[in-house]
Amino acid sequence: MKESEKSFDATQYKNQFQKEKYDRIIVNVPKGQKEVITSYAKEHSYNSLNSFVVDAINEKMKN
């Protein structure tokens, strides 16, 4: 067995896990808006931009 076949590829593992467990949605915003949204999320104690966006979508869908 080759050395490259034996080594663990963390990036490949992470990508495969995400592919199996999550759907991806690409959101386009005007230039500069991402930083505004990220700052807002941090100010409101979100761990990530993604968690803020998911919470915002879920909240909107409740109404």
pLDDT one-digit tens code per residue, 1-48: 565 567 899 999 999 999 999 999 999 999 999 999 999 999 999 999
List Cα–Cα distances, 48 to 4, 6, 32, 56, in angstroms: 34, 34, 17, 12
φ and ψ of 13, to 5 deg: -60, -45
The pLDDT of residue 27: 95
User: Measured between alpha carbons, how far apart are the two ends of the chain, in Å?
Assistant: 57
Query: Would you kindly state where each structural domain of the chain is located, as residue ranges?
Result: 26-63
